Amino acid sequence: MFVIKAVPSVTVDMPVPLRDYDTSSDALARAVAAGGGSAIVAFKAPSDVRALANNGRRPALAKTTLQSGLALLEERKVEIVDYLAYMGAAWVHLKPEDARALMEHPLVDYIQPDHVGKAAGGPGIVAGADMDVAQQIPPWGIAMVRAPQAWTIETGSGTTDWQIVDSGYDNGHEDLAVLNANDQCRAGGCNDAFPSPHGSHVAGIATARDNFVGVVGVAHGLTEDRIFSYRACNNIPGNACTANAVTTGINYAVPNIDVLNLSLVLRQDFALCNAVAQAWQADVVIVAAAGNNSETLFEWPARCSNVVGVSGVLPNRNFASTSPCTVQGGTIHSNSGNHVDIAAPFYALSTVPNGYQGEMNGWCGTSQATPHVSGAAVLVRERFPSWSNLQVVNYMFQAADDEGPPGKDNQYGWGILNAYEAVK
């Protein structure tokens, strides 16, 4: 039985241009088939205009409307994978002909076919990067963002909740907190069964314990009950994540998460930005990777409104137009663009499961830059608990070390993260 809640109104970033399946039922049927039948169906009141015809505005949804929408799916024998209570939508598996019919139903706002994105970073070749956990080595990025100075004021221990949507979490790693699998992990989030354990590596950059072994995270004081993991990247080769799973992970962050880490990139997706809009309205700070290798198709959710987009920099503070890492046979570098808000270290030594090239490994990408920023956001939220997400984000931008042209630019955003100035 689903828990049904009223959903507040939000305005969602419009796809520009509209996709062919936004206006054509035949194109929608083809797109649903291409996505293996996986899609997100969002509901609306029968009298309301569809969001895609109303500049992205989704009016508030009453419980009765949502109950009617779910009843519609059940009546048509559509398989409901998960109900997205904070979006007024359902993740479903359906036949292309069902999508064609539902598109015109007055209870349906939009149907978003699934597609595949990817983690924004991966294992790199970095000299001396593989190690065991016999000693603690603070990574170079921790010093660059002035985290040790920030720790004299705040370490993240308190009531701030941090969530990662990724490939999972190595629950049992000597340098990571132990999570309660029943309460803190969704969709197998306490396991990192990815072909490469991307989520564990990202988690360590933000949260690795200050325990004299391994590495140490930006918000190492986060207690074990304040860390949450949703696995959205699972059993798909090439560091891939499905859009619907990522959207669902964001939905689960809405009720009680303070800072959300999205070290991944996807194509433009209306449901994804809908989930982001609801999370922002619920006072979540959302931090996402800007992407790698100038792949302009894969820059969401960083391009969604109110998401902090993170680019990468090298130890000399230069924009990461190149790096010492090779990933999948090629040199990796950071994306730039107007979706970049702040910059952070582009590669890091961090936690991987025991037996995967040691227990610490050096990886590259804006995936690695992102948790530096989300970890710092934890410190700011803990230091100033009355601040809204907007205040936290704006102050982090103000506190950043401006690089490149004065003010915001497409490589550094507002500058390189400075955790100390942000919590001072």
Q: Are residues 130 and 87 in the same domain?
A: no
Number of domains observed in the structure of the chain: 2
Q: Are residues 43 and 152 in the same domain?
A: no
Q: Are residues 47 and 142 in the same domain?
A: no
198 counts as catalytic = yes
Where in the sequence is the domain holding 292, given as residue range(s)? 118-423
Q: Are residues 324 and 180 in the same domain?
A: yes
Beta bridge partners of 111: 41
Q: Are residues 108 and 198 in the same domain?
A: no
Q: By three-state DSSP, how is residue 395 classified?
A: helix
Domain assignment present for 142: yes
Domain assignment present for 1: no
Q: Are residues 248 and 346 in the same domain?
A: yes
Type of residue at 320: A
pTM, full prediction = 0.94
Q: Parallel, antiparallel, or unpaired: how do β-strands 108-113 and 38-43 relate?
A: antiparallel
Q: Are residues 108 and 184 in the same domain?
A: no
End position of a domain, from candidates 69, 87, 114: 114
| CATH label of the domain that carries residue 75 | 3.30.70.80
Nearest residue to 58 (alpha-carbon basis) of 71, 76, 40: 40
Contacts of 145 (CB under 8 A, 6+ apart): 218, 344, 345, 372, 376, 416, 417, 418, 419
Is 167 buried (19+), middle (13-18) or exposed (0-12) by CB count in 10 A?
A: buried
367 counts as catalytic = yes
Domain assignment present for 3: no
Domain assignment present for 414: yes
Q: Are residues 233 and 84 in the same domain?
A: no
Domain assignment present for 264: yes
Say which of 367, 372, 374, 409 is annotated catalytic: 367
Q: Are residues 130 and 163 in the same domain?
A: yes
Q: Are residues 276 and 363 in the same domain?
A: yes
State the alpha helices, DSSP H only, in 76-187: 96-102, 140-144, 147-150, 181-184
Domain assignment present for 417: yes
166 counts as catalytic = yes
| CATH label of the domain that carries residue 131 | 3.40.50.200
Say which of 48, 166, 258, 409 is annotated catalytic: 166
Contact (Cβ atoms closer than 8 angstroms) between residue 73 and residue 280? no
End position of a domain, from candidates 65, 94, 114: 114
Tens digit of pLDDT at every position of the chain (424 positions)? 789 999 999 999 999 999 999 999 999 999 999 999 999 999 999 999 999 999 999 999 999 999 999 999 999 999 999 999 999 999 999 999 999 999 999 999 999 999 999 888 776 644 334 444 456 878 899 999 999 999 999 999 999 999 999 999 999 899 999 999 999 999 999 998 666 789 999 999 999 999 988 899 999 999 999 999 999 987 555 668 899 999 999 999 999 999 999 999 999 999 999 999 999 999 999 999 999 988 888 999 999 999 999 999 999 999 999 877 766 566 789 999 999 999 999 999 999 887 666 667 888 899 999 999 999 999 999 999 999 999 999 999 999 999 999 999 999 999 999 999 999 9
Domain assignment present for 316: yes
Domain assignment present for 2: no
End position of a domain, from candidates 76, 98, 114: 114
Q: Are residues 109 and 123 in the same domain?
A: no
Q: Are residues 168 and 79 in the same domain?
A: no
Say which of 198, 201, 220, 339 is annotated catalytic: 198
User: CA torsion sign, 290 to 294 to 297 to 303?
Assistant: positive
